[in-house]
Structure 1
Amino acid sequence: MAIFLQTMSAKLGIATGQNLPQLCGRVFSRKINWFFWVAAELAAMATDLAEFLGATLGFYLLFHIPMAFAGALTAVITFLIVYLSKYGQRVIEVIITGFVAIICIAYTLEIFLAKPDWASAGLHTLVPTIPGGEAVLIAVGMLGATVMPHVIYLHSQLVQHRNKDSTEAEKKRHLKMERLDITIAMNIAFIVNAAMVIVSAAVFYKNGVAVDSIEQAHQSLTPLLGAASSGAFGIALIASGLSSSAVGTMAGQTIMQGFVGLKINDNVTRLITMIPGMIIILCGVNPMNALVLSQVTLSFILPVPIISMMLLTKRKDLMGSLVNKPVTNVIGWTIAGVIIAANVILLYLTFTGKV
């Protein structure tokens, strides 16, 4: 799903020379674009909330400093990343790659220490089960966390600095390379995300440990797997949160400029998006609950960029030879339908008290 949607976004950017928000601003009415913008900003804020809390929790758990100080440290490092973005997209890509490498190393260690039942993991990867309402909530949250609306907007912008293609053949060659890049990146992301789930099942579920908070998860790892495991967990939280902060900043500018034509200083944007996270920290709200709900919010917003992208990529006057084939349209609308159905099911379970 993520590979398909990211490829569609890249194709849109390559074919038109514009990003998804810019094209929405050009094609759709002002009222619709204001709706798209509000939805996109909500998605960006939900993402920023998760990444800020994740990095803050990592610093808090690793260095045993108060959450407020950990939040301030996260803010300082995030502003540093924003500052480095002035040296170009390549610098940010290197930073993100470094953080992703750290996450991969951390969860490779976690998997090694957890010693999961690989036969069971393989079976449930192919035949997943959703035992109850809370599992639906987690599943919808995972959907929002892995696909992420703001990245769909952003990818159509990221291809622009390489988009020097003037002929249809060059555009197709560019798309082929982007498809390969996306496939590799998304498969790495899948492996990391799968490792997180497998480690949780192998360590907590297998040992009958009910985890109600990130702190409890971190504390439980030490007696079960040793200090190296809990340390790797904290490092992965920091790397994940900080890497996402770079992506979130770039996505925020793409969304703002494309939909409503406004350009706000990156530091101001970042400061505004940090406020919800700091409020949660200062009010003592359970960060894990906030993290889950923020990702569920992303799932509910996800159909908005998908639908707008599908409406645009089926138009030959915009896409030229890269216009969607009929099977592509079927896949795209099916994905949108599945996500909407999952969200509706979650709403039903919520209102009937089963979540």
Structure 2
Amino acid sequence: MSEISGRQKTLYFLKFIGLGLVVGVAYVDPGNWGTDIAAGSKFGYSLLWVVVMSNLIGIFMQYLSSKLGIATGMSLSENCRENFSKHKTIGLWISAEIAVIATDLAEVVGAAIAIFLLFKIPLIYGAMLASLDTLLILGLEKFGMRKIEAVIIGMMVLIGCAYLIEINLAQPDWNQIAYHAVVPSLNHNSLIIAVGILGATVMPHAIFLHSAMTKTRKTIFDVLKTPKRIIRFSLMDTVVALVFAGLINGAILVMSAATFYQKNLAIESIQTAYQTLSPLLGNVSGLAFGVALLASGIASSVVATLSGQVIFEGFTKLRTNLWKRRLVIRSITVVPAVIALYYGANTLDLLVISQVILSLQLPFTIIPLVYFTNNKKIMGADYSNRILTKTLAIICIGVIIILNVLLVIFQFGLKL
């Protein structure tokens, strides 16, 4: 099937889309809320450019991930297992598992906060209740991948609608938004938040998942035959979905800047943000905030579970059930989360720290990804990265490593 009509292309594209929005949920998880609210409340609109830059890097890396899956028929973790030594594979596997645990910590804390805001259940008990989303995943698994995608996409749309309401109520300064979206501004104090935004946006587990989920479109591959057309579909799907996710991220920061920073209000936790929103913008704002946060926690938890399964099976070649995977990871993350909350840990700080961990792990995900997609033996001469793509990939890796190095330097109090 070398030639298809425009109408057929549209139909096949509509059948293909969905992967981008599923991985896009990882880009609006509770960790993003923590870093974006912290950025907006402490530094106004000045870190909006980091959201834009991180989103562009995220789109690029997710595109490479999907291209790897389409061209090789294997996920990123499977490619690591097949092409690297045993020791390198084990090291990368451990690194990826740490990323999943850090992600899940943010989801536990985020869901616990949302439960507290909406139902006034204490954070400690909310963290325990958050573990019950295992039952949700078990229920969704019975209906197949498309049903899971539909629920996740529905929650993504809900989050977007909630923040459309927030922005409308906040009435931000659009001139400042336009300026800071493209003009970089960074200092010693804002660096950790900037790195947190990067870690919250370009999510390692989402990169692993995207390469694996391309297999769910195998029937379309069989019809269209050529991977090039499918890669173009994937690029369009990824761009549309992650631009939408990026707009939500930007909206969170903008709302925080317009509502809190402009009024010199210190926001030390997401609970404080919620409690401050209602008096300033009305009860609808607070309700939208709480509902969107809960949807974010649940949806991103499902995505993290799928990612964890892909990572485990790809690196080890062992099969595992989603519910078993969820129980293991949640048992690891709930205990420290409950202990931290019991001793009064700042929830905003917990979310930011979890995202910084993800940023520090990110090079161990994207460097193998770029290596594989650059390699003609692995990808094939027709699908390996061209010079421009290779250059952009090196720039992205460089930016991430430089920000991480600066963070380590400043956190240890060293002088440049």
Residue 5 and residue 204 in structure 1: after superposition, are their counterparts in 2 closer, same or farther (change >3 A)?
same
Post-superposition shift, 1:247? 0.7
Residue 268 and residue 208 in structure 1: after superposition, are their counterparts in 2 closer, same or farther (change >3 A)?
same
The answer on 1:94 being equivalent to 2:150 is yes
Q: 1:185 corresponds to which residue?
A: 241
Is contact 1:48-1:274 (8 Å) kept? yes
CA distance in 1, matches of 2:208, 2:175: 38
The answer on 1:147 being equivalent to 2:202 is yes
Q: Tell me the secondary structure at the aligned position of residue 348 of structure 2.
A: helix
Aligned match for 1:339, one of 367, 380, 400: 400
Aligned match for 1:316, one of 373, 376, 379: 376
Q: 1:301 corresponds to which residue?
A: 361
Is contact 2:203-2:362 (8 Å) kept? yes
Is contact 2:134-2:327 (8 Å) kept? no
CA distance in 2, matches of 1:220, 1:95: 31
Could you report, residue by residue, the CA deviation over 1:93-138 in whole angstroms, capped at 9, with x for unpaired residues? 11110110110111011001100011111111111322x3331111
Post-superposition shift, 1:262? 2.7
Q: 2:111 corresponds to which residue?
A: 55
Alignment of 1:19-98 (within 5 A): 19-98=75-154
CA distance in 1, matches of 2:116, 2:138: 22
Could you report, residue by residue, the CA deviation over 1:216-241 in whole angstroms, capped at 9, with x for unpaired residues? 11111121111111111111110111
The more displaced of 274-283 and 21-30 is: 274-283
The answer on 1:279 being equivalent to 2:336 is yes
RMSD: 1.7
Q: 1:127 corresponds to which residue?
A: 183
Q: Tell me the secondary structure at the aligned position of residue 87 of structure 1.
A: coil
CA distance in 1, matches of 2:143, 2:224: 31
Is contact 2:105-2:337 (8 Å) kept? no
The residue identity in structure 2 corresponding to 1:140 is V
Post-superposition shift, 1:168? 9.4
What TM-score do the two structures reach when normalised by structure 2? Answer: 0.82
Aligned match for 1:160, one of 204, 209, 215: 215
CA distance in 2, matches of 1:78, 1:237: 18
Unaligned runs of 5+ in 1: none
The residue identity in structure 1 corresponding to 2:336 is I
CA distance in 1, matches of 2:117, 2:392: 42
Is contact 2:113-2:126 (8 Å) kept? yes
The residue identity in structure 2 corresponding to 1:163 is K
Q: 1:326 corresponds to which residue?
A: 387
The residue identity in structure 2 corresponding to 1:338 is V
Aligned match for 1:136, one of 176, 191, 213: 191
Q: 2:299 corresponds to which residue?
A: 243
Is contact 1:12-1:313 (8 Å) kept? yes
Q: Tell me the secondary structure at the aligned position of residue 133 of structure 1.
A: coil
Post-superposition shift, 1:311? 1.1
CA distance in 1, matches of 2:58, 2:356: 16
What TM-score do the two structures reach when normalised by structure 1? Answer: 0.95
Post-superposition shift, 1:82? 3.8
Q: Tell me the secondary structure at the aligned position of residue 206 of structure 1.
A: helix
CA distance in 1, matches of 2:243, 2:71: 25
Is contact 1:18-1:156 (8 Å) kept? yes
Post-superposition shift, 1:278? 4.2
Residue 133 and residue 86 in structure 1: after superposition, are their counterparts in 2 closer, same or farther (change >3 A)?
farther
Could you report, residue by residue, the CA deviation over 1:156-205 in whole angstroms, capped at 9, with x for unpaired residues? 01111113536996211111111110000010011000000000000000
CA distance in 2, matches of 1:277, 1:298: 18
CA distance in 1, matches of 2:118, 2:189: 29
Could you report, residue by residue, the CA deviation over 1:16-57 in whole angstroms, capped at 9, with x for unpaired residues? 111110011000000000010011000011111111211111
CA distance in 2, matches of 1:182, 1:196: 21
Residue 271 and residue 352 in structure 1: after superposition, are their counterparts in 2 closer, same or farther (change >3 A)?
same
Q: 1:262 corresponds to which residue?
A: 318
Could you report, residue by residue, the CA deviation over 1:305-341 in whole angstroms, capped at 9, with x for unpaired residues? 1110111111212212111112111111211111000
The more displaced of 44-53 and 78-87 is: 78-87
Is contact 1:14-1:171 (8 Å) kept? yes
The residue identity in structure 1 corresponding to 2:373 is T
CA distance in 1, matches of 2:375, 2:223: 18
Is contact 1:40-1:150 (8 Å) kept? yes
Is contact 1:299-1:343 (8 Å) kept? yes
CA distance in 1, matches of 2:373, 2:223: 18
Identity %: 41
Q: 1:223 corresponds to which residue?
A: 279
The more displaced of 263-272 and 292-301 is: 263-272
The more displaced of 68-77 and 144-153 is: 68-77
Post-superposition shift, 1:268? 2.3
Residue 272 and residue 287 in structure 1: after superposition, are their counterparts in 2 closer, same or farther (change >3 A)?
farther
Is contact 1:13-1:19 (8 Å) kept? yes
The residue identity in structure 2 corresponding to 1:177 is F
Is contact 1:17-1:163 (8 Å) kept? no
Is contact 1:79-1:270 (8 Å) kept? no
The answer on 1:292 being equivalent to 2:347 is no
CA distance in 2, matches of 1:93, 1:166: 21
